[in-house]
């Protein structure tokens, strides 16, 4: 089962309260609340905040998870660069969008987003990491 969409984002906000407002607006677009997991200043660009969050997905099948995740992402912005990994019948699916590559986000304050969907938890720590295939 695919329970949640894991999100990582860079937001142009001054304080955690500002990040919470941006995340609330994104949740209203999806019709599902986001849960903020972490907030900190982005070390490479201190004028941005880095957030980690989840939104409900509750999909049983991989096809349903991919479809729902893409619909959710499209409501927040686009275009998205997407990748899909299959390892031993396990699906990992992710998308990345950034203002620096002409993405238009529908919620002000969003600069960069990554979403990650997997039947297994947790999400990778950075956009550079990819899940390794299981041994054996």
The pLDDT score that the predictor gives to residue 90 is 79
List the Cα angle 71/77/82 in 5-degree steps: 65
In a domain, 66, yes or no: yes
The whole-number average pLDDT for the span 116-131 is 58
Q: Convert the pLDDT of each residue in 103-118 to its tens digit.
A: 999 999 999 999 999 8
In a domain, 67, yes or no: yes
Task: Show contacts of 67-70: CB within 8 Å, 24+ apart.
Answer: 69/5, 69/93, 69/95, 69/115, 69/117, 70/95
Q: Convert the pLDDT of each residue in 22-80 to its tens digit.
A: 999 999 999 999 999 999 999 999 899 999 999 999 898 888 999 999 999 999 999 99
Domain of residue 44 covers 2-118
In CATH, what number is assigned to the domain containing residue 27?
3.30.70
Q: Is the pLDDT of residue 98 over 90?
A: yes
Q: How many domains does the chain have?
A: 1
Q: How far apart are CA 24 and CA 22, in angstroms?
A: 5
- The band of 130, judged by pLDDT with boundaries at 50, 70 and 90, is very low
Q: How far apart are CA 45 and CA 47, in angstroms?
A: 6
- The band of 88, judged by pLDDT with boundaries at 50, 70 and 90, is confident
In a domain, 65, yes or no: yes
The whole-number average pLDDT for the span 85-89 is 79
pTM above 0.75, yes or no: yes
Q: Do 30 and 75 contact (CB within 8 A), yes or no?
A: yes
Residue with tokens 């001054």: 14
């Amino acid at each position: 089962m695919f329970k949640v969409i894991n999100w990582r984002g860079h937001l142009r906000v001054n304080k955690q309260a500002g990040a919470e407002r941006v995340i609330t607006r994104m949740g209203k677009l999806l019709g599902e609340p986001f849960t903020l997991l972490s907030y900190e200043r982005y070390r490479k660009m201190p004028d941005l905040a880095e957030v980690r969050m989840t939104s409900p997905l509750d999909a049983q099948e991989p096809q349903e998870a991919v479809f729902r995740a893409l619909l959710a992402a499209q409501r927040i912005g686009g275009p998205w660069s997407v990748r899909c990994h299959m390892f031993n019948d396990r699906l990992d699916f992710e998308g990345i969008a950034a203002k620096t590559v002409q993405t238009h986000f529908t919620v002000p304050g969003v600069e960069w987003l990554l979403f990650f969907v997997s039947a297994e938890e947790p999400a990778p720590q950075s956009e550079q990491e990819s899940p390794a295939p299981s041994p054996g």
